[in-house]
Every structure is written in structure tokens, then in C-alpha cells.
Amino acid sequence: MIDRASLLHRAATHATNYLATIADRHVGATATADQLRQHLGGPLPQAGDSGEVVIDALAHAAERGTVATQGPRYHGFVVGGSVPASTAADWLVSAWDQNAGVHVLSPLVAVVEDITAGWLKSLAGLPESWSTGFVTGCQGANFTALAAARHHVLAAAGWDVETQGLFGAPAIDVVVSDESHYTIFNALRMLGLGASRVRRIPADEQGRMRADALRAALANDSGPCIVCAQAGNVNSGAFDPIDQIADICRQRGAWLHVDGAFGLWAAASPTRAHLVRGIDRADSVATDAHKWLNVPYDCGVVFTAHPASHRAAMVMGAAYIVETAAERDPHDFVPEESRRGRAVPVYAALRSMGRQGVADLVDRCCQLATRLADRLQAESGLTIVNDVVLNQVLVRVTAGPDHDAATRAMIDHLQKEGTCWASGTTWHGMAALRVSISNWSTTEADIDRTGDAIVRSATAE
């Protein structure tokens, strides 16, 4: 007989010990893939191991095999951590094991999803009437939004894409930015809209789509059109001029989609909300909860101004689903059927932080980014190559004969040294270190340690 309670307590002890030391450990993983395979692999046992053995083995391997993305000095890829209430709520979700697809399978999760959707819209400055779907991440959110867009613009042209497919359909003019995130192209690929037949609008030196170039590209055109803009460039943190782009799209009759994977949360801060001005005039918005909102994986969110088009793009209308009263079925707004109650940790994060707490989180990360940029800019031999408008800092070594090689060597040293972790990127053809500050637990002292480590790595032999 398995003692479930003692096993769950054991896992909780491992988890809390893991998190208790997260700020002090080497930030990168220190175990190799082979070491991990040796520790956890081998043939599937004929007779099962006890739960204790399994959980202990995983917890032990996690000490060196995980990356400390939950820690305060992980600055890679705009990852974010998870606020404690959301981690705890996620444990409840696993214990409940609810299917969040339809209301009748879990009234609790369906209602929490409704409440959370409303709170998110109010934080992001989006109208209450918009539809919402909770997906795996911003890739899923971009996909879902663009599926709704595809439905909407083709329906307006008299074509039912869900039943007829794209063969013989009116062509859709898909317009993206030169700096659109690759998940936009992935979504277009999967939707049969083609990753390469799109028109690309040039971006300015900060990576913002040029509104004048968009206006010229769309002038005098008609017919189905989808424009993809971005709130938060994954390198520089810059925002496309959404207000102007919304005007141009209105005039053209185009569907405007905004990828706001992390940048949407600028809307939650009174000091940064101007960056997303006009986003309430978009037709769809995609974002992540698991990045800057500091919720555990996985959770992205899609919002659209057109609930009927959103639903039409997702629902097959399966006859065996019993329609309960007037309650919303969560699966009507996502590509998945069965799924976990991923809105519950978002609810917990929002309720535990409150409106003020989310604004503080955004502001604090932005202030820390500025603090780091100021510090590094003061060093001779280092250059900040972006305008730090949000939580992203791009830094480059500008000493010695070969700045790209010196920058790459600095990144390599930094990652191996383990005080912090940030990734390399290419910005305007130049190598750069990209530092993203998006974790609730990062302090000024952490940022100063990160700054020291970057300076040390830039001057290391």
C-alpha cells in the first residue's frame, strides 16, 4: 500500500529545499547529459521502484541537472520565475487533476479561468468583452490568435476556411515586421499561411516596426489582410508604435495582431503603460503568464476582440459534449481539448500580488535593468547597444581588435562562472549579451553581483 501523504510530503520537502538554496547555487546546470542519463536511465525496471526511490532520484538529479531559472540571477531568454503563491497553487492543480476542457468536468477551474481572464484584461487595459484562451505559451497564443484572424478575414471575403480549407481561398496579405518573433512565422507556417510569402516591414534601430513603411505598404490595398505587430522586442525590449499601427490597420480593414509575450505587462505599470498605448484597438493580443507574470510553466494567454471568430476557429462542435446552461467551456477558445487547470496558478499570482504588486514587479525589473545598464556603461570597454526602455539590456565588449570575438568570450566565461546566466544574441549583425530581468526575487544586490560578473568576464584572460 502506497502511503500517498508521506510521498507528497517528501516531494514537498525536496521542492522547498531546492528553492531554499536556489539563490546561492551555480546558476547554470553542472551535470552533463551523460551524467544525467547514467543517474536516471537504464532499462525500464520490470518491477516498479517505490515512489520514494523515484522521487529521491529525481530530486537528487535536479540539484545539478536543472538550471536555476527560479533564482534571482537567471537572466536568460525573458524566463521569469514563479511567485510562491502560484507554485503552491500549481501543486493543488496537480493534486486535483482536473480536466479544464469543459465546465462540467470542473466547475471550479472553469470559474477560476473566467475570473482570471477578467483580471488579466483589466490589468492589460483590454476591453471586458474580449475573448480569452489559456494556452501553453505565447507560441500557442500567437497560433490561436492568427487562426481567429484567418477565420475572420476570410469570412469577411465570403470564404469558410474551417470547412473549405485554403485551397481556392482568397489570398490573405500577411504583413509582419522584420523583427517579428520566430513564433509568429511558426504559427503562420502551421496555419497554411506560409512563413516566407509574408511581406516584411523594416524596423528602426531599436527594432520597432516603422509605421511610415507600413502605411506605404498598405496604401490603396483591399481584401483580406493580417498585420502582426509586437509589444516588447525579445532583444531590445522596444515596442512597435501600436497606436499608429492600429490607425493604419483600421483604415486598411486589416486584422491587427500584437505579440506581447512579455511586453504586454508594461500595461500594468502606470509608468510604462504608455508603451502599449493603442493595444485595446488591436484585434488580438498574445502574451505569456509564465514569463514576466512569474507563474510556473506552462501558461500563455490569447485575447481577441472577436469572440465569435475566435470560437469559430477552434470549435468542431462535437455532438457528444453536453451543453450546460450558459457557462463557458474553456476548450472553445484553445486548440487543445483536455488540459490542466493552468489558469489557477495565474489566479494565485494575481490575487497574491494585487494590482499594485504586479505594477511593482514590472517597475522593479525595469529599474534594475537601468541600474545594470548604468553600471556597465560606466566601464570602459563595455557598451550598451539598446535604449533600455524596459527590462532588457544588450551589452557588448568594445575593447581589443575583435569586438564580436571578445563579446563571445565574455559570454562563455560568464556562463561557466555561474554567478548569473544570460545568453548571447545577435543584434544588428553584432554579437551581444542579452540580460533580461524578469524575476520577482531579483534584488539590487543581485544586479550588482551580475554586473560584477559581467565586468570580470569581459576582462578575464
Q: Which listed range, 37-45, 112-120, 257-265, 404-412, lies at the site for ligand PLP (CB under 6 A)?
A: 257-265
Binding of ligand PLP at residue 333 (CB under 6 A)? no
Q: Give the residues across from 165 on adjacent strands.
A: none
Residue type, position 136, single letter: T
Residue whose grid cell is 536555476: 68
Size of the site for ligand PLP (CB under 6 A): 13
432 and 396 Cβ atoms separated by less than 8 Å: yes
Q: Where in 70-99 is the site for ligand PLP (CB under 6 A)?
A: 78
- The whole-angstrom separation of Cα 137 and Cα 140 is 5
Nearer to ligand PLP, 102 or 282 (CB): 282
Kindly tell me which of 131 and 436 has the beta carbon lying closer to ligand PLP: 436
Which among 303, 272, 259, 270 has a CA at the least distance from the CA of 119?
Answer: 303
Q: Which of 74, 134, 185, 262 binds ligand PLP (CB under 6 A)?
A: 262
CB of 7 to ligand PLP, least distance (A): 31
Q: Is residue 240 part of the contact set for ligand PLP (CB under 6 A)? A: no
Helices (H), 315-390: 343-377
Q: Phi first, then psi: what are they for 369, rounded to 5°?
A: -65, -45
Strands 382-384 and 300-304: unpaired
Cell numbers at residue 11, please? 516531494
Residue nearest to ligand PLP (CB): 137
Burial class (CB in 10 A: 0-12, 13-18, 19+), 449: middle
237 sits near ligand PLP (criterion: CB under 6 A): no
Q: What CA–CA distances, in Å, run from 300 to 119, 193, 296, 297, 442?
A: 15, 22, 11, 9, 23
Q: Are 307 and 279 in contact (CB under 8 A)?
A: no
Please give the Cα distance from 13 to 31 (Å, whole number): 22
Nearest to ligand PLP of 181, 340 (CB atom): 181
| Smallest gap from residue 251 Cβ to ligand PLP (A) | 26
Residues recorded for the chain: 461
Smallest distance, ligand PLP to C-beta of residue 137, A: 3
Nearest to ligand PLP of 75, 181 (CB atom): 181
181 near ligand PLP (CB under 6 A): yes
Cis before 3? omega within 30: no
SS in 3 state form for 174-212?
Answer: EEEECCCCHHHHHHHHHCCCCCCCCEEECECCCCCECHH
Which is nearer to ligand PLP, 261 or 435 (by Cβ)?
A: 261
Q: Which is nearer to ligand PLP, 285 or 368 (CB)?
A: 285
* Binding piece for ligand PLP, criterion CB under 6 A, among 258-266, 271-279, 308-316, 436-444: 258-266
How far is 397 from 454, CA to CA, in rounded Å?
10
How is residue 21 annotated by DSSP?
T
Shortest distance, position 185 Cβ to ligand PLP, whole Å: 11
Considering only residues 132 to 151 of the shown chain, the ones binding ligand PLP according to CB under 6 A are: 137-139
Nearer to ligand PLP, 14 or 200 (CB): 200
Pick out residues in 276-305 that bind ligand PLP (CB under 6 A).
288, 300
Question: Closest CB to ligand PLP among 370 and 425?
Answer: 425
Nearest distance from C-beta of residue 296 to ligand PLP, angstroms? 12
183 binds ligand PLP, rule: CB under 6 A: yes
Candidates 193, 203, 234, 384; binder of ligand PLP (CB under 6 A) is: 234
Q: Which of 159/303 has CB closer to ligand PLP?
A: 303
Residues 170 and 268: their CA atoms lie apart, in Å, by 39
Q: Shortest Cβ distance from residue 141 to ligand PLP (Å)?
A: 7
261 in contact with ligand PLP (CB under 6 A): yes
With contacts defined by CB under 6 A, name the span among 47-55, 256-264, 266-274, 323-331 that binds ligand PLP. 256-264
CB atoms closer than 10 angstroms to residue 353? 20
Our CB check for ligand PLP shows the closer of 27 and 234 to be 234
Least Å from the CB of residue 431 to ligand PLP: 20
Distance of closest approach, residue 205 Cβ to ligand PLP, in angstroms: 18
Euclidean distance between the first and the last CA atom of the chain, given in angstroms as a whole number: 59
What number of CA atoms fall less than 13 Å from residue 194's CA on the CB side?
11
CB of 80 to ligand PLP, least distance (A): 10
Binding site residues, ligand PLP, CB under 6 A: 78, 137-139, 181, 183, 232, 234, 259, 261-262, 288, 300
